[in-house]
Amino acid sequence: MWIIFFILAAEIAVPALSVLDVMPKNGTELLLPTNSFQVNKDNRIAIARQAVFVTPQKIIPLQIRCVINCLQKTVANVEAIFKVEFSTMSLPTPKQTPTYKWKLFRKNTKQNILTLPEDNTKPDVKLSAGLLEEDVSYHLEVILDNLNGYDKSYAILDLKTNKAPENGSCTVDPMNGTAVNTFNVNCFDWQDPDGIWKYVIVFEVKENRFIIDETSK
C-alpha cells in the first residue's frame, strides 16, 4: 500500500496527477511527478491523504532506447528514432504481436505532440524533423499491450532538445572577389551552454551547398 500526500492550500488548484504518473511498476515502485507539491498561501495549509493500493502486475520490463539522433540532447530539426527494448526478458512464446501505444508530451504543459494509433505494432517511433521545438523538454511514453496473460507494460523517456548557438556573427574578407582570391572567414562571440563544437563554412550556389571547410573551435 502506498500513501500519497497532497498538500492543498485554499483556492489554489493543484495539478492533477495523470494515471501514468502514479502507475506502479509491478508493485515495486511508485512513480511520482518529479516536482513535489509545495503549495503555500499565507499560513493556510490543508493536508489530504489518499491511499493507493497497488496490485502486483504481470508486466514485461521494457525501456525506450534511442536509435537515431542520440546525442545528450536531441537535435530538434533532425529526424529522431526511438525503439522499445526489453530489458530482462524477451517476448513470451508462443510469439504474439503486441501493440505499442506511443505518446509524446511537452513536459511542463503536458501538451500532447504526437499519438500513434493504438493498434500500432511497430516497436519503434519516428519523430520527424521539425516535430520537436528547440530547447524544450519532452516525455516520450510507450505502453505495450495485447499480450495474453500480461498486463500493460509501460516505459517513459525524458528528452531535451538542443538549441542553436546564438549571439555571434561572422565576417568575410574581401566581400567581393574572384576565384583567385583568398577569402578570410571570421566567426566570433557565438555562445552555447553546451559549447561550440565546430564551425562549418558552406558555399552555396543556387540550391546546391558545398562544404568548403570544417574547423573545430
Ligand X SMILES: *[C@@H]1O[C@H](CO)[C@@H](O)[C@H](O)[C@H]1NC(C)=O
Report the residue from 3, 13, 47, 175 that binds ligand X according to the rule CB under 6 A.
175
Report the residue from 15, 56, 117, 168 that binds ligand X according to the rule CB under 6 A.
56
* Min separation Cβ 82 and ligand X, Å: 22
Report the residue from 8, 59, 68, 187 that binds ligand X according to the rule CB under 6 A.
59
Interface segment toward ligand X; rule CB under 6 A; list 16-24, 50-58, 72-80, 91-99: 50-58
Grid cell at residue 82: 526511438
Hunting for cell 527494448 — which residue is that?
85
* 142 class by beta-carbon count within 10 Å (0-12 exposed, 13-18 middle, 19+ buried): buried
* Min separation Cβ 24 and ligand X, Å: 10
Residue number with CB closer to ligand X (61 or 117): 61
Asked if 124 touches ligand X (CB under 6 A), the answer is: no
Asked if 55 touches ligand X (CB under 6 A), the answer is: no
Among 64, 10, 4, which Cα is nearest to 40's?
Answer: 10
Helix (H, G, I), strand (E, B) or coil at 8: strand
User: Which amino acid is present at 27?
Assistant: G
* Min separation Cβ 88 and ligand X, Å: 8
Among 5, 8, 89, which Cα is nearest to 44's?
Answer: 8
Report the residue from 43, 72, 93, 176 that binds ligand X according to the rule CB under 6 A.
176
- Do residues 197 and 164 make contact, with C-beta atoms less than 8 angstroms apart? no
Interface segment toward ligand X; rule CB under 6 A; list 72-80, 119-127, 131-139, 185-193: 185-193
User: Which amino acid is present at 79?
Assistant: E
Grid cell at residue 168: 555571434
Q: Is 19 left (phi over 0), alpha (psi -120 to 50) or beta?
A: alpha
| Contacts with ligand X, residue ranges (CB under 6 A) | 26, 56-59, 61, 166-167, 175-176, 191-193
